[in-house]
């Protein structure tokens, strides 16, 4: 995990531009910083590294022949690719080096062989190539300066430095200066109605296997990987499966991390889950004053003033800070709501499986500048790598093949296997029912900012910051976030223009 900057055909002979850009990304990679040029190539690259795989010799930029690469993220099938490509051609133990050698094979579909979360820029003497993982888990921005191009991991790298046409590279996209932008990956369409003869137990069993494989894959690292644990269904499933991976490998208990205000439902539920699955559990209790003190930090790193996103980013920052004191990487539960119909507004689709399937597909494609941006920025602000097993490409393909009717179902509120008249994530709960206490498996969902107690504490924090009394209305809250953002950036309009937003409790189109 890291941050990087690349300049292509931009004059920076004294290195002041790239140094200024890279200095703003140091939080993404405190272990090593390096700037490099390649003779005969009009590119200069800078990289700040958080070492997770290949810690001893995985410094970047990475060179091979007349090509040079900077990358951010993890390639989980790098060992398989290394064996196929030939271990003798590799100079480092870094998983990122596989990107460079795959490109050098000349295969037209080389990028589709990468399995993981990643963003990278690759330079040759006559072209520059940039690409992003299927869901946009890892960020990548592109801008122009004169006739040249620039790339960076966060928007703040461009702020006030004379760049134009700044935009995010779309998820699953590849930019080639020779051929332009193309979409190398598309989220598969979701299935709607279940066939009458469908064996639901079999589907649930297959889903369980897919989840187990995804968690095991996304735990591969040369450092210890922990897990966020809010006490909700998604993070609890991930933590339970990760604990099994560690136990089966003869390792010590998984480290789990929960945050919330004193007495919050998330802290209580997380404590129960941790005790049930046997993890080494850590907690942090935050106050309204903690929120007030950290709100400018949250908004600066989040690169957004969207009220819903800021609210959910606050506990994420505290969780990341807690986890970073113990590990360098964590698993999170992001993606389960989009794959298995976990949001409140999804209940409106209970009798419209085709519309629900289409909405889930749409929301998957919209995660990159909402929830995934929150998780990336808040964890990277604390130099922590976040991993999202629910967004494993093979798991996405299988989950999208599951009929939407099995994800959201009408249920009898009186029975155990229900969260109300309609039950969200029904099949996911069924597939993992044996992992957790029954009442937690069928616990009604609470948003992270609600279950952690953030909403009430935030009201107090807003009163501290504004000097107001009573309830701070949503309009004033949003205005305050924009004011804070404007104070932190030289070109706040550029930042705000790139931000995603939530409308009516759903990701905007």
Query: Residue 174 in contact with residue 182, Cβ under 8 Å?
Result: yes
The closest alpha carbon to 6, from 35, 39, 40, belongs to 35
Question: Is the backbone of residue 474 left (phi > 0), alpha (psi -120 to 50) or beta?
Answer: alpha
Sign of CA dihedral 169, 175, 180, 181: negative
When pLDDT is averaged across residues 491-505 and rounded to a whole number, the result is 85
Residue 61: asked if its preceding bond is cis (omega within 30°), the reply is: yes
Residue 406, judged by CB atoms within 10 A of its CB (0-12, 13-18, 19+), counts as buried
pTM, entire model: 0.94
DSSP 427-484: HHHHHTGGGS-HHHHTPPP--HHHHTTHHHHHHHHHHHHH---S---HHHHHHHHHHH
Q: What is the pLDDT of residue 509?
A: 45
- The rounded mean pLDDT for the chain is 93
Q: What is the pLDDT of residue 508?
A: 54
Q: What is the pLDDT of residue 468?
A: 82
Query: Residue 317 in contact with residue 297, Cβ under 8 Å?
Result: yes
When pLDDT is averaged across residues 375-385 and rounded to a whole number, the result is 97
Sign of CA dihedral 340, 1, 53, 124: positive
Distance CA 260, CA 279 (A): 18
Top pLDDT among 72 and 452 is at 72
Angle formed at CA 218 by CA 110 and CA 500, multiple of 5 degrees: 80
Query: Residue 142 in contact with residue 128, Cβ under 8 Å?
Result: no
Distance CA 406, CA 412 (A): 15
When pLDDT is averaged across residues 191-196 and rounded to a whole number, the result is 93
Query: Residue 116 in contact with residue 76, Cβ under 8 Å?
Result: yes
Top pLDDT among 94 and 483 is at 483
Angle formed at CA 34 by CA 89 and CA 52, multiple of 5 degrees: 65
Give percent of the chain above pLDDT 70. 96
Q: Residue 180: which H helix or E strand, with range?
A: strand 180-183
**pLDDT tens, position by position, 75-101:** 999 999 999 999 999 988 889 999 999
Query: Residue 454 in contact with residue 294, Cβ under 8 Å?
Result: no
130-154 burial code (b ≥16 CB/10 A, e <16): bbbbbbbbbbbbbbebeebbbbbbb
Q: What is the pLDDT of residue 55?
A: 57
When pLDDT is averaged across residues 489-501 and rounded to a whole number, the result is 93
On the question of pLDDT at 202 being above 60, the answer is yes
The closest alpha carbon to 159, from 411, 509, 485, belongs to 485
Top pLDDT among 404 and 13 is at 404
DSSP 228-263: E--SSHHHHHHHHHHHHHHHHTTPPPPEEEEEESTT
Active-site hit among 2, 6, 365, 432: 2
Which residue is it, tokens 């976040």? 386
Q: What is the pLDDT of residue 40?
A: 87
Q: What is the pLDDT of residue 39?
A: 85
Alpha helices in 29-75 (DSSP H): none
**pLDDT tens, position by position, 52-69:** 766 566 688 999 889 999
Is 432 tagged catalytic?
no
Top pLDDT among 173 and 31 is at 173
**Treating both helix axes as pointing N-terminal to C-terminal, what angle do 474-488 and 307-324 enclose, rounded to 10 degrees?**
60
* Pair of tokens at residue 406: 């099995």
Query: Residue 273 in contact with residue 465, Cβ under 8 Å?
Result: no
Q: What is the pLDDT of residue 446?
A: 57
Distance CA 310, CA 304 (A): 7
The closest alpha carbon to 155, from 170, 175, 141, 135, belongs to 141
> pLDDT grade, residue 501 (50/70/90)?
confident
- Range of lowest pLDDT (31-35, 355-359, 499-503): 499-503
- Range of lowest pLDDT (88-92, 149-153, 447-451, 496-500): 447-451
Q: What is the pLDDT of residue 230?
A: 93
When pLDDT is averaged across residues 180-203 and rounded to a whole number, the result is 95
Distance CA 481, CA 479 (A): 5
Distance CA 273, CA 271 (A): 6
On the question of pLDDT at 393 being above 50, the answer is yes
On the question of pLDDT at 419 being above 50, the answer is yes
Top pLDDT among 163 and 500 is at 163
When pLDDT is averaged across residues 461-480 and rounded to a whole number, the result is 92
> pLDDT grade, residue 379 (50/70/90)?
very high
First to last CA, the chain: 29
Tally of CB atoms within 10 A around 507: 21
């Amino acid at each position: 995990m890291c941050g990087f900057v690349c300049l292509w055909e931009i004059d920076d002979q004294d290195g002041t531009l790239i140094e200024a850009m890279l200095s703003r990304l140091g939080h993404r990679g405190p272990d090593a910083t390096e700037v490099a040029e390649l003779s005969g190539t009009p590119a200069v690259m800078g990289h700040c590294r958080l070492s997770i795989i290949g810690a001893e010799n995985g410094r970047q930029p990475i060179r091979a022949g007349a090509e040079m690469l900077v990358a951010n993220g993890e390639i989980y099938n790098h060992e398989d690719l290394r064996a196929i490509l030939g271990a003798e051609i590799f100079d480092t133990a870094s998983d990122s080096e596989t990107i460079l050698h795959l490109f050098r094979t000349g295969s037209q579909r080389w990028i589709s062989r990468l399995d993981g979360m990643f963003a990278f820029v690759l330079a040759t003497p006559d072209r520059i190539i940039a690409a992003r993982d299927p869901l946009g888990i890892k960020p990548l921005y592109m801008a122009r300066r004169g006739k040249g191009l620039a790339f960076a991991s966060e928007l703040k790298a461009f702020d006030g430095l004379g760049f134009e046409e700044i935009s995010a590279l779309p998820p699953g996209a590849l930019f080639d200066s020779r051929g332009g932008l193309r979409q190398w990956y598309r989220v598969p369409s979701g299935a709607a109605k279940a066939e009458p003869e469908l064996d639901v137990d079999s589907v649930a069993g297959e889903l369980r296997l897919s989840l187990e494989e995804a968690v095991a894959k996304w735990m591969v690292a040369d450092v210890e990987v922990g897990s966020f644990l809010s006490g909700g269904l998604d993070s609890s499933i991930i933590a339970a499966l990760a604990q099994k991976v560690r136990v089966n490998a003869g390792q010590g208990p998984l480290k789990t991390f929960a945050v919330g205000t004193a007495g919050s439902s998330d802290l209580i539920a997380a404590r129960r889950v941790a005790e049930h699955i046997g993890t080494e559990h850590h907690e942090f209790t935050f106050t309204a004053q903690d929120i007030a003190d950290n709100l400018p930090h949250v908004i600066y790193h989040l690169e957004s003033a969207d009220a819903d996103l800021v609210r959910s980013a606050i506990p994420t920052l505290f969780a990341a800070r807690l986890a970073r004191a113990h590990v360098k990487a964590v698993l999170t539960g992001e993606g389960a709501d989009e794959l298995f119909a976990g949001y409140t507004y999804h209940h409106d689709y209970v009798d419209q499986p085709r519309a629900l399937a289409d909405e889930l597909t749409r929301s998957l494609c919209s995660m990159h500048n909402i929830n995934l941006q929150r998780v990336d920025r808040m964890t990277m602000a604390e130099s922590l790598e976040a991993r999202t097993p629910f967004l494993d490409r093979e798991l996405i393909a299988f989950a999208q093949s599951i009929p939407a009717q099995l994800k959201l179902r009408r249920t009898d509120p009186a029975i155990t296997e229900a969260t109300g008249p309609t039950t969200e994530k029904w099949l996911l709960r069924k597939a993992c029912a044996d992992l957790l206490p029954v009442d937690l498996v069928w616990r009604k969902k609470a948003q992270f900012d609600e279950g952690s107690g953030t909403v009430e504490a935030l009201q107090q924090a807003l009163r501290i910051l504004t000097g107001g009394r009573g309830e701070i209305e949503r309009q004033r809250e949003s205005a305050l976030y924009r004011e804070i953002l404007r104070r932190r950036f030289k070109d706040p309009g550029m930042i705000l223009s790139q931000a995603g937003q939530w409308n009516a409790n759903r990701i905007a189109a």
